[in-house]
A and B are shown apart, each in its own frame.
Chain A
Amino acid sequence: MTVEHRPKRARLELLVRQEDSAGFEVREIPSAVAYLHSHPQRIPDAQWELAQLPYAAGGAVTYALKNLPTEEIIQISEAEKFLWEQMDGRASLQEIATAYLLRYGSFDFAIIPTLIVKLLRADLLTMRPVSRLRAVLARNHRNAAARAMEGTLHALERLTVTSRRAHRFFERLYRYGGFVLFTPWTMLALVVMVALGAWSGVRIWHALDDVTHGLAQHPLVAILLVKVVFWLTVVNHQVIHALACIHYGRRVREFGFTILHGFIPTFYADVTDIFMSSRRARIVNAVAGPLFHLFLGAACLWIATLTSPGLIQGFLVASAILQLQSFVVSLYPFCFLEMDGYHVLVEWLGLPTLNHDAVRFVRESLWSRLRNLDTLTRRERIYVTYVALSLVSVASFVIGIAWLLVYAGES
């Protein structure tokens, strides 16, 4: 038997100087990382044309993709057409691969590199590295504000603390008790606790003055206590996602702390391996975290009814409100952020790249379709509904926060 010895992926060693200091760090950049972070961008829309071929071998749908300036034509499959549509310069190859997996339920590791080679050969594609923001900042390096922002983003990125050996830890955690969370008994306990929580909520509602009085006596302690406990539960939310991943026999790639999008401090578990699993597994994984908040919220309300008025009761009720709010927020799908509820929605609709496609459709095609009085397809109506609901939700959230601040200030 012959064994193929593939050369190790090439690595580039770069020395990155720190801003305004003599310090530096040496970073190793594997070519694979650069490849995954590249943003393939197809040539401008006016320069290409796509047509479905009238004949197809074995009933498979195929398309002809033509580069209009060079008149070069390549043939692509339905799956390759899907990938081509994602290559708008905004999505990274990693995101495109995830979208493909969600759409087709399986992943062929060769399809993306093969298609990219085909597209590059026909001059249909350019590859851009990293994010557009970082590219703009790099172009404007002489501008002090751009330099400061780049420095801040870099500092925030460095705050990421991660463990790539998390999988074994979560395997042990699952084996020594975590598996209980995925039994019918836990579901029963959740139902009972929610019922108890609802009953307790009604009781507390009638004695709300006692609760607020208890909090008002120790406002600083109460706020700090609620915040600390809430952060701990955010960790647990991610732990439960990780355990769900283990439950379905998939791998937890990473667990850690990061600054999401450069401004949201959060813990995270990389459970993207769940995409290789069944639809049911993906939905269970998505709802497991929010259900943990529901359970804790209900439990806090119930325990609050067993305690006498004071700091502890106030803390429990405030924690319950935060937990229930987290439950609703993480399951709410219409906010342009791809949180747990969004993943449930895309599974239900069967539109894995809903957010990306909906925003693109509204931005690029909707107005011309409306001007021409075209009838929208079912998918396009979903896109419009998603964007409209998300816009309304975000606007309501901002107005709500503003109203709350004004109201709180006055009272």
Chain B
Amino acid sequence: MARPPEIAFLRRVPLFQDLEEPVLRALGPSFRERRLRAGDVVFRTGDRGEELFLVKEGRIVVSKPVTGRIEQVLNRVEPGEAFGEMSVFGDERHRSATCQAETDVILYSLDRESLNRFIADNPLTAARFFQQLAMVAFKRLRDSSDLVAEVTRWGLEATGLDVEHT
């Protein structure tokens, strides 16, 4: 039978690190454990998003379709990190990227309903949760802008275009 995540593990996850132990214990049973084989898709771009995920073991690759069977790798999610929060809390309810297991993976999922209940029951603690969520969002933004710069540099190098002297 799937067990809820241990408190020590939740403490490693930035989103939950500032939450008191009783709150974490109360939230624990809402998590669902999922085991994936390498190659299994957690969700695809455009799917409706109802869950937030935490990676316990393994690695998730985040990608976005480019053309045909080719996708751009945007990020990797390592143990202790969360993903899928954008469509749970954001204004767009559909997944913005595809997440797929790059290795065998153990995940915990937390659905929107449980999260909303947790927020309603613990408004003060939820403020700390949202503060961490904002941090995660800022990091994603930084990573995305770094990636845009890297892809632009790649394009310039691959085409030999010398913009400085054009």
**Residue-by-residue, is A21-46 near B (CB-CB < 8 Å gives 1, otherwise 0)?**
01110100001101100100000000
A24 contacts B39, CB within 8 Å?
yes
**Residue-by-residue, is A3-31 near B (CB-CB < 8 Å gives 1, otherwise 0)?**
00001011111111111001110100001
The answer to whether B151 has its CB under 8 Å from any CB of chain A is yes
The answer to whether B117 has its CB under 8 Å from any CB of chain A is no
In-complex Cβ contact of A22 among B39, B153, B157 (8 A) = B39
B166 contacts A121, CB within 8 Å?
yes
B74 and chain A: residue at smallest CB distance: A13
B39 contacts A113, CB within 8 Å?
no
A116 contacts B157, CB within 8 Å?
no
The answer to whether A132 has its CB under 8 Å from any CB of chain B is no
Question: In the complex, A166 Cα to B34 Cα: how many Å?
Answer: 45
B165 contacts A10, CB within 8 Å?
no
B150 and chain A: residue at smallest CB distance: A10
In-complex Cβ contact of B72 among A13, A22, A127 (8 A) = A13
B150 contacts A14, CB within 8 Å?
no
A31 contacts B158, CB within 8 Å?
yes
From residue A404, how far is it (CB to closest CB) to chain B in Å? Answer: 43
The answer to whether A221 has its CB under 8 Å from any CB of chain B is no
From residue B54, how far is it (CB to closest CB) to chain A in Å? Answer: 22
From residue A120, how far is it (CB to closest CB) to chain B in Å? Answer: 6
Q: Which residues of B contact A116 (CB under 8 A)?
A: 160
Q: Which residues of A contact B159 (CB under 8 A)?
A: 35, 38, 120, 127
A38 contacts B73, CB within 8 Å?
no
The answer to whether A141 has its CB under 8 Å from any CB of chain B is yes
Size of chain A's interface in residues, with CB distance under 8 A? 29
Q: Which residues of A contact B67 (CB under 8 A)?
A: 138
The answer to whether B69 has its CB under 8 Å from any CB of chain A is yes
From residue A221, how far is it (CB to closest CB) to chain B in Å? Answer: 44
B157 contacts A15, CB within 8 Å?
no
Question: In the complex, A18 Cα to B73 Cα: how many Å?
Answer: 15
Given A16-B70, A17-B69, A117-B165, the answer on whether A26 and B61 have CB atoms closer than 8 Å is yes
Given A31-B153, A116-B160, A117-B161, the answer on whether A138 and B68 have CB atoms closer than 8 Å is yes
Question: In the complex, A313 Cα to B165 Cα: how many Å?
Answer: 71
Question: In the complex, A113 Cα to B73 Cα: how many Å?
Answer: 29
From residue A164, how far is it (CB to closest CB) to chain B in Å? Answer: 22
Q: Which residues of A contact B155 (CB under 8 A)?
A: 31
Size of chain B's interface in residues, with CB distance under 8 A? 29
Q: Which residues of A contact B151 (CB under 8 A)?
A: 10, 12
Question: In the complex, A26 Cα to B154 Cα: how many Å?
Answer: 17
Q: Which residues of B contact A141 (CB under 8 A)?
A: 68
B37 and chain A: residue at smallest CB distance: A22
Within 8 A of A (CB), among B30-78: 39-41, 61, 63, 66-73
Given A26-B102, A116-B160, the answer on whether A31 and B61 have CB atoms closer than 8 Å is no
From residue B63, how far is it (CB to closest CB) to chain A in Å? Answer: 4
Question: In the complex, A333 Cα to B154 Cα: how many Å?
Answer: 40
Question: In the complex, A9 Cα to B157 Cα: how many Å?
Answer: 8
In-complex Cβ contact of A17 among B71, B162, B166 (8 A) = B71
Q: Which residues of B contact A12 (CB under 8 A)?
A: 72, 150-151, 154
Within 8 A of B (CB), among A164-178: none
The answer to whether B87 has its CB under 8 Å from any CB of chain A is no
From residue B163, how far is it (CB to closest CB) to chain A in Å? Answer: 10
Question: In the complex, A390 Cα to B7 Cα: how many Å?
Answer: 76
B41 contacts A22, CB within 8 Å?
yes
The answer to whether B100 has its CB under 8 Å from any CB of chain A is yes
Q: Which residues of A contact B69 (CB under 8 A)?
A: 16-19
From residue A357, how far is it (CB to closest CB) to chain B in Å? Answer: 24
A126 and chain B: residue at smallest CB distance: B159
Q: Which residues of A contact B165 (CB under 8 A)?
A: 117, 121
Q: Which residues of A contact B40 (CB under 8 A)?
A: 22
From residue B38, how far is it (CB to closest CB) to chain A in Å? Answer: 9
Q: Which residues of B contact A38 (CB under 8 A)?
A: 158-159
In-complex Cβ contact of A26 among B73, B153, B158 (8 A) = B73
A15 contacts B150, CB within 8 Å?
no
**Residue-by-residue, is A181-222 near B (CB-CB < 8 Å gives 1, otherwise 0)?**
000000000000000000000000000000000000000000
Given A12-B72, A12-B151, A26-B73, the answer on whether A31 and B157 have CB atoms closer than 8 Å is yes
Given A22-B40, A26-B102, A121-B165, the answer on whether A113 and B68 have CB atoms closer than 8 Å is no
12 additional contacts, CB 8 Å, given A17-B71, A26-B102?
A10-B154, A10-B157, A14-B70, A14-B71, A15-B71, A16-B69, A17-B69, A23-B39, A31-B154, A31-B158, A35-B158, A117-B165
Top 3 A-B pairs, shortest CB-CB distance: A31-B157, A34-B158, A13-B73
Q: Footprint of A on B, CB under 8 Å?
A: 39-41, 61, 63, 66-73, 100, 102, 150-151, 153-162, 165-166
